[in-house]
Chain A
Amino acid sequence: QKEVEQNSGPLSVPEGAIASLNCTYSDRGSQSFFWYRQYSGKSPELIMFIYSNGDKEDGRFTAQLNKASQYVSLLIRDSQPSDSATYLCAVKNYNQGGKLIFGQGTELSVKP
């Protein structure tokens, strides 16, 4: 079992729709959860982080965390073609030194 799992995609949504990206993790001791966006040929860019169960909203982005189910998701409302990228989920257990464990990423394609 991978430590952090994501569907590799590609996930294709029409412009204006809601894109839903999902991630599960195996370490129950994980405390911090991050979503990074990575455009092709570029480095990962932090877009959201969440520490507590529930929802966290930032503009068109909402991160959702359910520690009991070991599940974290990212919703992108009103998807735009510029949102087309690979989205990386990462988790951190600071009792393990604080390193980020990344999933393989989900490729999102937003069609005009």
Chain B
Amino acid sequence: EAGVAQSPRYKIIEKRQSVAFWCNPISGHATLYWYQQILGQGPKLLIQFQNNGVVDDSQLPKDRFSAERLKGVDSTLKIQPAKLEDSAVYLCASSPGTRMGEQYFGPGTRLTVT
């Protein structure tokens, strides 16, 4: 079974530029998550989708971050404009959607904002 796919794996941009990340979850997984992991910290949830609806985006900085999950499969996360403090690894995860279900992570995108 193929795992969670993400691209790009690495991205370097200057502050105030925009960037987009893509995620393809495990086939059949209804729930998709975007996390931000800053070096030395645990992942922090940015947004959770159930199919193509948003379940939780309480920690998403909506003035600069946006995300969508069209057709309930792939998802994109966008940052516009980027700030230095956005430098982090952006992780996508998916789960089957059961209440107790475990989550499986993709390889992540390492973003450096200069």
Q: Are A4 and B102 in contact (CB under 8 A)?
A: no
Q: Are B44 and A97 in contact (CB under 8 A)?
A: no
Interface residues of B (CB under 8 A from A): 31, 33, 40-45, 48, 55-56, 89, 91, 99-108
Residues of A within 8 A of B100 (CB): 31-32, 51, 92, 94
Interface: A80 (CB within 8 A): no
Residues of B within 8 A of A42 (CB): 107
Number of interface residues of A (CB under 8 A): 26
Centre residue among B44, B102, B106 by max chain A CB count within 10 A: B102
Q: Give the nearest-CB partner of A4 in chain B.
A: B42
Q: How far is the CA of A103 from the CA of B42 in the complex (A)?
A: 6
Q: How far is the CA of A46 from the CA of B45 in the complex (A)?
A: 17
Q: How far is the CA of A1 from the CA of B76 in the complex (A)?
A: 33
How would residues 44 to 74 of chain A score, 1 for a CB under 8 Å from any chain B CB and 0 otherwise?
Answer: 1110010100000000000000000000000
